[in-house]
Structure 1
């Protein structure tokens, strides 16, 4: 596997990245990118000069996953959006490699923090279908994963929950906000 920056003059790889996005989200967030055209729109948006789009390629130069990033707060913070791995290949270290590569990309740009939101639209955590305006930090500290929600993957990668957006995706469907400090050269 190798990880490269995707460029606008690579239409076959763009098409593959868009299809993976649609396929990977169809079970848990089908309205996110319901069709290939929606996936293509997202990939093309991520190709902007002020964003990051890195793809993982297998030995046949086929896209098997990708990660995007959006600069925030004058470059001090980067939003990780999205991370996607081809269904059937998840759990094989591709996502981990993409996140590590992304963190290095933003570190080289002077970032101090990576943030992300990981939605719970289908009751996969104990934060869904509860009033997050009452004792939110208690509920966050006691979070349970009911169905392979990705927040635990990010925790293993060193991210911590830094908040929630209650009802972000409809009543009882929060967005779980996570962040990680990116070590500077002085920290290493």
Structure 2
């Protein structure tokens, strides 16, 4: 649990409001290990945690939230995240899941949905979505078959939305 909390803290340090200290990272890992949830870990040859995906059941288990997903920086681009998401999809399907969704914040102005007033035309903003720069994971989710299903404007402060992605299982 300590390795996973450290990886969570390290992965999101300075990227979002969550898990900016080890206590909150430990609480997140503890919460994710509840019996009704799914957690899968990837480890290297030295049994060090290099990735983690979690799933939270919603809508009577028909919908699952992917929360969280993280891969150690040196392991990114090697298929670890993809394997973890595929494993979560399979396990959620076995439990009756029909949809997998996630929220991906843009607190760093990395997409066209950040730094603007989305309320004037939310559907057009989603239709015209693009990644501008940085490490926002949208391209990864698109490659796995997710699409944008919505946005919560100002979720993390003015001009800092939470972008909702989903896919059918």
CA RMSD after TM alignment: 0.9
8 Å contact kept, 1:23–1:87? no
Alignment partner of 1:16 is 2:16: no
Where do residues 56-75 of structure 1 align in structure 2 (5 Å cutoff)?
Answer: 56-75=42-61
Structure (1/2) with the larger helix percentage:
2
1:27 Cα deviation from its structure 2 partner: 3.5
Equivalent residue for 1:144, pick from 130, 133, 154 = 130
- For the residue of structure 1 that corresponds to 2:116, the secondary structure is coil
Q: Tell me the equivalent position of 1:181.
A: 168
Alignment partner of 1:127 is 2:113: yes
- For the residue of structure 1 that corresponds to 2:84, the secondary structure is helix
Cα distance in 2 for residues equivalent to 1:44 and 1:74: 22
Cα distance in 1 for residues equivalent to 2:140 and 2:35: 29
Q: Tell me the equivalent position of 2:158.
A: 171
Cα distance in 2 for residues equivalent to 1:102 and 1:40: 21
8 Å contact kept, 1:68–1:83? yes
Instruction: State TM-score, norm by structure 1.
Output: 0.87
4+ residue runs over 6 A deviation: none
8 Å contact kept, 1:53–1:69? yes
Equivalent residue for 2:83, pick from 97, 104, 108 = 97
1:143 Cα deviation from its structure 2 partner: 1.1
1:88 Cα deviation from its structure 2 partner: 2.1
Q: Which runs of 5+ in 1 are unaligned?
A: 1-13, 183-188
Instruction: State TM-score, norm by structure 2.
Output: 0.96
Cα distance in 1 for residues equivalent to 2:12 and 2:135: 13
1:148 Cα deviation from its structure 2 partner: 2.7
Cα distance in 2 for residues equivalent to 1:78 and 1:151: 18
Q: Tell me the equivalent position of 2:92.
A: 106
Cα-to-partner distance string for 1:98-120 (whole Å, 9 max, x where unaligned) = 00110001011110000100000
8 Å contact kept, 2:14–2:20? no
- For the residue of structure 2 that corresponds to 1:88, the secondary structure is helix
Cα distance in 2 for residues equivalent to 1:90 and 1:134: 37
- The count of aligned residue pairs is 168
